[in-house]
C-alpha cells in the first residue's frame, strides 16, 4: 500500500477532531436553513433556460407553421377547382336578362316566338400561366349576344342564342383569396430578439459552469442527480484547450423572394422545405468557429390560372323579353337553351430547388450554465449549387415538370447567415441542439441580368452534437 494512503489518508479518516466552538447544531441551524431557502430558489431559477428553449422552439415553430397554414388554405381552395355552376348559372341568367331586354327592344315588338336551339359546343382551353393581375377583373360581359330571328305568320320564330358568360364572380372571389394571401405573406417575419435582461444574467450564470464541475464528478461517480447551486456573481474560466466537436442538424425551412415582379398574386412565396447540415466546430474560450455543409430543399409555390369555355344546356334561361307596345309591359322569354360558360380554374404548382452551401461562421457563447448553453452565430456562406425543377399546367390541364436551369444561377452565390442556438448537454460527450437560422443571399439567384432575386431563408433545426 502507498505510504501516503496508509499514513495520511487513513490516519485522517480514523481520527476526526471535534467541532470547534460555534459549530454546534444550535449555532448552525439558522444559517443552514437560510442557505436551503436560497438553494431552493436557485433550483427553481435553473428552469429558465428550458423556458427559453421552449420560447425559441415555439417562435420558430409558429413562424414555420404560419407559412404552412397559409399554404394549406390556398391549396384547399385551389383543389376545389372553382367549379361553381350555381354561380355561373345565376350570373348567366342575370346577364342574359339584362342584355335580352335591350336586344328585343331594338329588334321590335314581338308577341310570341319559337326558339330553336342550335346545339353547338366548343371548348376553349387556355392554360397559359399568367398572374391574376393580368386577367380582366369585374369586366362587363360583352360577349353576350342574343339573336332573335322572326319568321312570317305562324312561322316559327328562331332564336339562336350564343351566350358567353365569364364567371367574373368566381374570378373576383379568387382574386380576393389571393390578395389576402399575398398581403399576409408580404408581412415581414418578426425577429425575436433576446432581451437585455437575459444576457445580463450571463455573468452570474456563467459561474455555474465552474460550479458544475465538481458537482458533475459527484453525479458521475454515484450517478446522483446534480445538486442545486446558489447563484454566485463570479466570472467563469473558459476551457484552457480548444475543443473540437461535430454536429448534425436537420429541420424545416421557408424562404421568401425579394423580387417584386414575382410577388404578385400568382407567386405565393416559400412553402415548407427541409434542410440537413453536418458541421464541425472548434471552441476556444467563449468563441466557437464552425465549418459546415448544408443541403436545403426549398420550395416555392405559384398559382397557375387557366380558363375553359364549354357549351352547356340550361333550362329556363331568359333569352329575351317581349314588350307589349300598348302597355309597355315586358314579359321574359324563358327557354331551354345552350350557353357558353367559361370556367376559371386555378392550380397551385410547386417549384423545387436543391441548394448546397458551405458555411463558415463565428459564434459567441452568450450564456453557459451547467448543461445549458446559448450561442449566437454569424457567418458567411458559399452556395455551391442551386438547381431546381418546376411544375406547370400544360394544355390538357396536366402537370408538366421542367428544369429551371435556364432561369436559376447554378453556383457561386454568397450569403450571410446568423443563428441563435440553444444546446443541452446530455453527458460529457453529447448535446442536443435547437437552432433558429436566418440566411440572406447576397447575389441574385436568377440568371437574368434584369431580375435581382435574393431570397431570404428561415430555418428551425434540431440536432445532436458530439464533443471530442
Partner 1 sequence: MINTHIIETCKKGDKRSYALIYKSAAPYVYSIVRRYIEDTEYRKDVMQETFAKVFLNIKSFDDQKGPFKGWIRKVAVNECLLHLRSKSNGVLFVEYAAEKIEEIKDDSKLPTDLSRQEIESILDKMPNGYRLVFMLAVLDDYSHKEISKTLNITTETSRSQLVRSKRWLRNFLNSQHKRDMYGLL
**Binding stretches for partner 1 (CB under 8 A):** 2-9, 11-12, 15-20, 22-23, 25, 28-29, 31-36, 38-40, 43, 207, 210-211, 213-218, 220-225, 227-230, 232, 234-237, 239-241
Nearer to partner 1, 230 or 410 (CB): 230
Query: How many distinct helices (H) and strands (E) make up the chain?
Result: 8, 13
For partner 1, which is the closer residue by CB, 27 or 98? 27
In terms of CB distance, is 188 or 241 closer to partner 1? 241
- As measured in angstroms, the least distance from the Cβ of 226 to partner 1 is 9
Query: Nearer to partner 1 by C-beta: 50 or 217?
Result: 217
7 versus 73: smaller Cβ distance to partner 1: 7
**Which residues does 86 contact at the CB level (< 8 Å), separation at least 6?**
none
Q: Which is nearer to partner 1, 224 or 402 (CB)?
A: 224
Nearest to 422 by CA among 372, 467, 357: 372
CB–CB of 442/413 below 8 Å?
yes
- Smallest distance, Å, CB 285 to partner 1? 12
Of 136 and 225, CB closest to partner 1 = 225
Minimum CB distance to partner 1, residue 33 (Å):
8
Contact (CB, 8 A) for 97 and 332 = yes
Closest to partner 1 by CB, 41 vs 176, is 41
Rg over CA atoms, the chain? 37
Give min distance, CB of 209 to partner 1, in A: 10
Nearer Cβ to partner 1, position 235 or 364? 235
The label of the residue with cell 502507498 reads 2
Q: Around Cβ 358, how many Cβ atoms within 10 Å?
A: 13
Smallest distance, Å, CB 201 to partner 1?
17
Q: Which is nearer to partner 1, 121 or 235 (CB)?
A: 235
The vertex-172 CA angle with 170 and 176, nearest 5°, equals 115
CB-CB contact of 60 with 436 (8 Å): yes
* Alpha carbon distance 121, 341 (integer Å): 10
Distance CA 299, CA 60 (A): 18
Q: How far is the CB of 206 from partner 1 (least distance, A)?
A: 10
84-93 long-range CB contacts below 8 Å, 24 or more apart? 84/167, 84/170, 85/341, 87/167, 87/169, 87/170, 88/165, 88/167, 88/170, 88/341, 88/343, 89/314, 91/165, 91/167, 91/168, 91/169, 92/163, 92/165, 92/314, 92/317, 92/339, 92/341, 93/317, 93/318
Centroid of chain to Cα 226 = 40
Q: How far is CA 95 from CA 71, 90, 164, 328, in A?
A: 35, 9, 10, 22
Shortest Å, Cβ 235 to partner 1: 6
> Could you tell me where the beta strands, DSSP code E, fall in 130-266?
145-149, 158-162, 164-166, 243-256
Question: Nearest approach, Cβ of 231 to partner 1 (angstroms)?
Answer: 11
Least Å distance, CB 253 to partner 1, is: 38
Least distance from partner 1 to the Cβ atom of residue 424, Å: 19
The Cα–Cα gap between 128 and 392 comes to: 9
Q: How many CA atoms lie within 13 A of 422 on its CB side?
A: 16
For residue 286, the minimal CB distance to partner 1 (Å) is: 13
**Nearer to partner 1 by C-beta: 40 or 109?**
40
Amino acid at each position: 500500500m502507498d505510504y501516503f494512503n496508509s499514513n495520511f489518508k487513513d490516519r485522517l479518516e480514523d481520527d476526526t477532531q471535534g467541532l470547534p466552538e460555534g459549530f454546534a447544531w444550535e449555532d448552525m441551524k439558522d444559517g443552514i436553513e437560510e442557505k436551503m431557502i436560497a438553494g431552493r430558489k436557485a433550483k427553481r431559477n435553473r428552469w429558465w433556460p428550458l423556458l427559453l428553449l421552449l420560447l425559441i422552439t415555439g417562435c420558430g415553430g409558429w413562424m414555420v407553421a404560419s407559412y404552412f397554414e397559409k399554404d394549406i388554405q390556398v391549396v384547399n381552395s385551389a383543389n376545389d377547382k372553382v367549379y361553381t355552376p350555381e354561380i355561373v348559372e345565376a350570373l348567366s341568367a342575370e346577364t342574359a336578362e339584362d342584355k335580352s331586354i335591350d336586344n328585343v327592344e331594338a329588334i321590335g315588338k314581338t308577341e310570341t316566338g319559337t326558339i330553336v336551339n342550335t346545339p353547338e359546343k366548343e371548348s376553349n382551353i387556355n392554360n397559359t400561366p399568367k398572374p391574376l393581375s393580368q386577367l380582366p377583373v369585374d369586366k362587363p360581359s360583352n360577349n353576350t349576344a342574343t339573336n332573335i330571328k322572326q319568321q312570317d305568320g305562324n312561322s316559327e320564330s328562331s332564336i339562336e342564342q350564343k351566350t358567353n358568360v365569364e364567371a367574373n364572380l368566381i374570378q373576383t372571389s379568387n382574386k380576393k383569396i389571393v390578395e389576402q394571401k399575398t398581403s399576409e405573406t408580404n408581412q415581414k417575419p418578426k425577429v425575436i430578439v433576446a432581451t437585455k435582461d437575459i444576457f445580463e444574467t450571463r455573468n452570474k450564470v456563467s459561474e455555474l459552469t465552474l460550479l458544475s464541475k465538481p458537482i458533475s464528478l459527484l453525479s458521475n461517480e454515484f450517478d446522483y442527480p446534480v445538486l442545486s447551486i446558489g447563484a454566485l456573481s463570479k466570472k467563469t474560466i473558459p476551457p484552457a484547450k480548444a475543443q473540437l466537436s461535430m454536429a448534425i442538424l436537420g429541420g424545416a425551412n421557408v424562404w421568401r423572394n425579394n423580387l417584386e415582379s414575382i410577388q404578385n398574386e400568382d407567386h405565393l412565396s416559400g412553402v415548407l422545405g427541409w434542410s440537413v447540415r453536418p458541421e464541425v466546430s472548434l471552441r476556444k474560450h467563449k468563441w466557437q468557429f464552425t465549418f459546415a455543409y448544408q443541403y436545403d430543399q426549398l420550395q416555392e409555390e405559384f398559382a397557375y390560372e387557366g380558363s375553359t369555355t364549354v357549351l352547356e344546356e340550361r333550362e329556363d334561361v331568359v333569352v329575351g323579353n317581349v314588350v307589349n307596345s300598348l302597355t309597355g309591359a315586358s314579359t321574359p322569354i324563358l327557354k331551354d337553351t345552350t350557353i357558353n360558360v367559361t370556367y376559371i380554374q386555378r392550380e397551385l404548382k410547386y417549384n423545387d430547388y436543391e441548394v448546397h452551401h458551405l458555411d463558415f461562421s463565428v459564434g459567441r457563447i452568450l450564456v453557459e450554465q451547467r448543461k445549458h448553453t446559448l450561442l449566437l452565430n454569424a457567418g458567411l456562406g458559399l452556395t455551391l449549387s442551386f438547381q431546381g425543377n418546376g411544375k406547370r399546367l400544360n394544355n390538357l390541364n396536366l402537370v408538366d415538370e421542367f428544369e429551371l436551369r435556364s432561369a436559376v444561377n447554378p453556383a457561386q452565390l454568397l450569403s450571410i447567415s446568423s443563428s441563435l442556438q440553444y444546446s443541452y448537454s446530455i453527458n460529457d460527450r453529447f448535446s442536443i441542439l435547437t437552432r433558429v437560422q436566418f440566411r440572406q443571399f447576397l447575389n441574385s439567384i436568377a440568371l437574368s441580368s434584369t431580375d435581382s432575386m435574393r431570397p431570404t431563408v428561415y430555418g428551425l433545426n434540431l440536432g445532436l452534437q458530439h464533443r471530442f
